[in-house]
Amino acid sequence: MVSAGTAATAGTTVAAGATEHRPLIITLFGLFVVATLAITIWAGRQTKGAADFYAGGRQFTGFQNGLAISGDYMSAASFLGIAGAIALFGYDGFLYSIGFLVAWLVALLLVAEPLRNSGRYTMGDVLAYRMRQRPVRTAAGTSTIVVSIFYLLAQMAGAGVLVSLLLGITSDLGKIVIVSLVGVLMILYVTIGGMKGTTWVQMIKAVLLIAGTLLITFLVLLKFNFNISDLLGKAADNSGQGVKFLEPGLKYGKDSLTKLDFISLGLALVLGTAGLPHILIRFYTVPTAKAARKSVNWAIGIIGAFYLMTIVLGFGAAALLKRTDIIASNKAGTTAAPLLAQEIGGGADSTGGAILLAVISAVAFATILAVVAGLTLASSSSFAHDIYVNVIRKGKATEKEEVRAARWSTVVIGAAAIALGAMARDLNVAGLVALAFAVAASANLPTILYSLFWKRFTTQGALWSIYGGLVTAVGLVLFSPVVSGKPTSMFKDADFYWFPLENPGIISIPVGFLLGWLGTVLSKEQADPQKFAELEVRSLTGTGAH
């Protein structure tokens, strides 16, 4: 445990550096917000109909979309959460970097091109092509919203921690106000700019994040004369764990239960990306399947370089910062990267440290805003297109009504994200994102793969897979240590957990696949072979794609 005195010292050190240069920090934040809102307003004026709002008019190139995908994917979990996890747990924290990157191979090989060819705006379009529209669209919309809200929790938590650190806010009320302001900005980005505005914000953010991360990586390596061995050795010595810090097992190797949790986490990370709604909708913003494939190729290159740099950030924080100071600032390690920037710039009392802290924190804030905009757009698009237009209005809504419904649903989803994000403000953002990956891999991925590649797959199989995977994953999370029973839980004073793992993937992902198969083989309806043949040709060749 970190003593109150240690916590106070760490908080004072950060606050002192931040307070002296607070005008600079606020100016950088303000400049980014004003610039991105201006872009959003410009994009909003060019948004004429549903295709513009949902897919940006399909006018983006493969490179532009790859950059935007990178901006959408490199979230607060990547920048803040992984650096913190590595700083506290060494090798075991680095496993997040591996999982997030390897997941793109699944997305590239199995999902990107067929999905772009088969759908129009949402995952529900793919399912509805060969199944009963209303039930599968309702299920797809529900799943999209739930997964997006899980992911939004992580971004909101990261925003609250980050801005609180910079502005010296320690009260719970102050942190809730910060989360609320981020939510309001998120709502404005989506309601005004739609996909076009969101895409430009994500591209700008990707460039800023890569540049900021590259700068800190260079300075850390310079500090150790570009000797990786010296960096790792100092990190191990400074961690208090010695060589164990660089070996597997510090977080996930204590007993058989933690090892099982690691396997569960790995499954969720590797399989989750291909089922994330805010990533899937990005494949619809390019004109062709070839451009979609190029998008993923560019994204893998950019994201791969970024995750290599997070290793240096994490071990750099472990080497140059006191473990007690990292935990005192945020017990989940979320502020390790900004604190490292401050330290590498000269320390809390230096102008260089304050400037670097302000720059990196502004980049992290940009990261959060761009990702929450993408998540909210995915949720509102699915509600408006799948549920409102095709279920409630039975396909009879005008484009104007559809876009209006998407904008109103953005407000509702944003309000829900604000409320839940306020409760999750002290949890590790990488862990929260891993939960979103588990839910996506349990509910969305089985249904997508079965629909694209199994000709016998039926509507009942799709419904069992989506709802079964969703309920299993969310239910296990609710009764896990993430929510209650431990000092690090969302509700630390409550204790109603009975599922021992922090990530449900090892149970819920196989359940999603099993229920999809079981629902199909027990179904009385027969799949239409002609529809599957049409979908197969369309998914592989792009013939008839929008």
Distances in whole angstroms, Cα of residue 62 to Cα of each of 58, 149, 265, 470? 11, 28, 31, 32
Tokens of 54: 């949902």
Give the amino acid at 101.
L
| More confident position, 115 or 148 | 148
142 has pLDDT over 70:
yes
Q: What pTM was computed for the model? A: 0.82
**The pLDDT of residue 160 is above 50:** yes
Angstrom CA distances, 430 to 69, 118, 265, stand at 18, 32, 11
Does position 272 have pLDDT exceeding 70, yes or no?
Answer: yes
pLDDT of residue 172: 74
Tokens found for residue 248: 């597997």
Q: Are 370 and 190 in contact (CB under 8 A)?
A: no
Domain boundaries, the chain: 4-541
Helix (H, G, I), strand (E, B) or coil at 246: helix
- The separation between CA 130 and the C-alpha centre of its own chain, rounded to angstroms, equals 30
Single-letter code of the amino acid located at 293: R
Whether the pLDDT of residue 504 is over 50: the answer is: yes
Phi and psi at residue 333, to the nearest 5°: 85, 10
pLDDT of 518: 95
Residue 540's Cβ-count burial label (10 Å; 0-12, 13-18, 19+) is middle
Q: Which class in CATH covers the domain with range 4-541?
A: mainly alpha
Say which residue, 305 or 58, is predicted with more confidence.
305
pLDDT at 507: 94
SS3 string of 83-121?
A: HHHHHHHCHHHHHHHHHHHHHHHHHHHHHHHHHHHHCCC
Separation of alpha carbons 514 and 508, rounded Å: 10
Top-confidence residue, 413 or 154: 413
Return mean pLDDT, the chain: 81
φ, ψ for residue 205 (rounded to 5)?
-60, -40
Instruction: Report how far residue 445's alpha carbon sits from residue 135's, in angstroms, rounded to the nearest whole number.
Output: 18
Which range among 26-30, 52-56, 228-232, 359-363 shows the weakest confidence by mean pLDDT? 52-56
Distance CA 176, CA 19 (A): 20
Write down the pLDDT at residue 2: 36
Banded pLDDT at 470 (limits 50, 70, 90): very high
Mean pLDDT of 144-163: 80
Nearest to 55 by CA among 509, 546, 386: 546
Which residues have a Cβ under 8 Å from the Cβ of 232 and sit 6 or more positions away?
Answer: 246, 315
Q: How many residues does the chain have?
A: 546
Distance, CA of 92 to CA of 265 (rounded, Å) = 11
- d(CA 61, CA 67) in angstroms, rounded, equals 10
Phi-psi region of 186 (alpha: psi -120 to 50; beta: other; left: phi over 0): alpha
In this prediction, residue 540 carries a pLDDT of 74
Per-residue confidence (pLDDT) for residue 56, from 0 to 100: 64
pLDDT band at 9 (very low <50, low <70, confident <90, very high): very low
Give me the pLDDT at residue 39, please: 83
Phi, then psi, of 239 in degrees rounded to 5? -75, -20
Weakest-pLDDT range from 135-144, 163-172, 376-385, 416-425: 163-172
Which residue is it, tokens 């980050």? 162
Q: What is the pLDDT of residue 501?
A: 87
pLDDT at 5: 37
pLDDT in tens, 81-100: 888 889 988 888 888 888 88
Are 58 and 290 in contact by the 8 Å Cβ rule? The answer is no
Quick one: average pLDDT of 358-364? Answer: 80
Q: Are 52 and 377 in contact (CB under 8 A)?
A: no
Cβ–Cβ < 8 Å for 440, 140: no
For range 153-157, the mean pLDDT: 77
Position 180 pLDDT exceeds 50: yes
523, 499 Cβ separation under 8 angstroms: no
Q: How far is CA 435 from CA 59, 259, 272, in A?
A: 33, 17, 9
pLDDT given for residue 20 in this prediction: 62
In the predicted structure, residue 8 carries a pLDDT above the cut 60: no
Average pLDDT of the segment spanning 213-217: 92
Integer Cα distance of 70 and 278 in angstroms: 12
Q: Which neighbouring-strand residues pair with 491?
A: 484
